[in-house]
Amino acid sequence: MSVLDVTKNLNQLKVIPIILGIIIGLLLSIVSDLTYVYVFHESSSTFYLFASLALLGGPLIGGLIAALIMKEHKFTALLISGFAIFAILLILSILSYLVFPLFFYESVQLPAPSSNNASSSSSHMPSSLNYSIPGIGTGKLLTSDNNSAVVVMSDYDHLPYPSTVYLINKSSNKVIRSLNFDNDIIAAAIDQGTLNLFNDKIGYYLNTENGEFVNTIVRLDNYRGLFASGDHTYMQTTFETSVLNADGSVGSHRRMYMNCTASGYFISGSTGQIIQ
């Protein structure tokens, strides 16, 4: 059936069955999505089931309902209703995963630059964050969980404060991965066995069990790191990501608080405070 044929048939259709099919199909898809979010808490194991129900089941059922109600041009009614539902769901998905997260995040305003000489130390880190790195020295604990510690060592005697981040296995007390950066604009959070690490706006994702980089097919996030607004500088402290990993696992709307260092300061993501 050509586009011209569909257009001619559309002019002869009664729109009420089509609208009814679209409404019912959308409702079914929305119920499926809400069940995935609030009942199963967007778990990876149920993603494909509910994605199929929402993106395929809703358009199919809505199209079939429109076709059953129509007295003629049933196939055209099925196509119109089904594609309309799918298009609306696609737009909602884009808004949910790509657009809305850009507007919902938290950040902390950094103090204005001090008048200290550039050659003097500009570290404002509290001693309570001290963490001994085996065989290397003492750094500052950026974040941790039951199994891993993420520690940063920065050279605050030389701008722009080159830094090294160490991922440490607590059980063996060994460094399993280290990364070098040109500055101390660093943010980190551990979520479900993955270290989400940022050097400003560039992300690194590490398996906390072995220190290997996590292989991903698609990753979406809203992290913008250090940014200026007006006369002030801010560090983003919350992070939302959705990811499809190479092993097929899915993380949907994973939101976390990032502990950060920037310009010699430590920012607690959970409290939004600069700790000195």
**58 located within any domain:** yes
**145 located within any domain:** yes
Closest C-alpha to 269, from 175, 191, 157: 191
Per residue in 200-252, pLDDT (tens digit) is 889 999 999 999 999 999 999 999 889 988 889 999 999 999 999 999 999 99
Residue 151 confidence (pLDDT): 96
**75 located within any domain:** yes
Question: Distances in Å between the alpha carbon of 184 and those of 64, 115, 155, 260?
Answer: 58, 19, 9, 9
Show the domain range for 245: 115-275
Q: How far apart are the C-alpha atoms of 98 and 107, rounded to whole Å?
A: 19
Per residue in 81-90, pLDDT (tens digit) is 999 999 999 9
DSSP type of residue 258 = P
**258 located within any domain:** yes
Spatial contact of 25 and 81, defined as CB atoms under 8 Å apart: yes
Spatial contact of 171 and 147, defined as CB atoms under 8 Å apart: yes
Residue 118 confidence (pLDDT): 43
The amino acid sitting at 30 is: I
Give the total number of structural domains in the chain. Answer: 2
Per residue in 144-169, pLDDT (tens digit) is 999 999 999 999 888 889 999 999 99
Spatial contact of 37 and 47, defined as CB atoms under 8 Å apart: no
Residue 120 confidence (pLDDT): 43
Q: Which residues lie below 8 Å from residue 86, measured CB to CB, with a gap of 6+?
A: 55, 59
**106 located within any domain:** no
Q: How far apart are the C-alpha atoms of 66 and 60, rounded to whole Å?
A: 10
Q: Is 110 helix (H, G, I), strand (E, B) or coil?
A: coil
Q: How far apart are the C-alpha atoms of 199 and 196, rounded to whole Å?
A: 10
**107 located within any domain:** no
Query: Do 257 and 135 share a structural domain?
Result: yes
Q: Alpha-carbon torsion 108, 111, 116, 121, what sign?
A: negative
Query: Do 129 and 67 share a structural domain?
Result: no
**205 located within any domain:** yes
Q: Quick one: pLDDT band at residue 198, thresholds 50, 70, 90?
A: very high
124 or 29, which is more confident: 29
**207 located within any domain:** yes
- The position carrying tokens 């991965």 is 177
276 or 235, which is more confident: 235
Query: Do 188 and 76 share a structural domain?
Result: no
- pTM for the predicted model, two decimal places: 0.82
Q: How far apart are the C-alpha atoms of 88 and 76, rounded to whole Å?
A: 18
Q: What region, left, alpha or beta, does residue 42 occupy, with left being phi > 0 and alpha being psi -120 to 50 degrees?
A: left
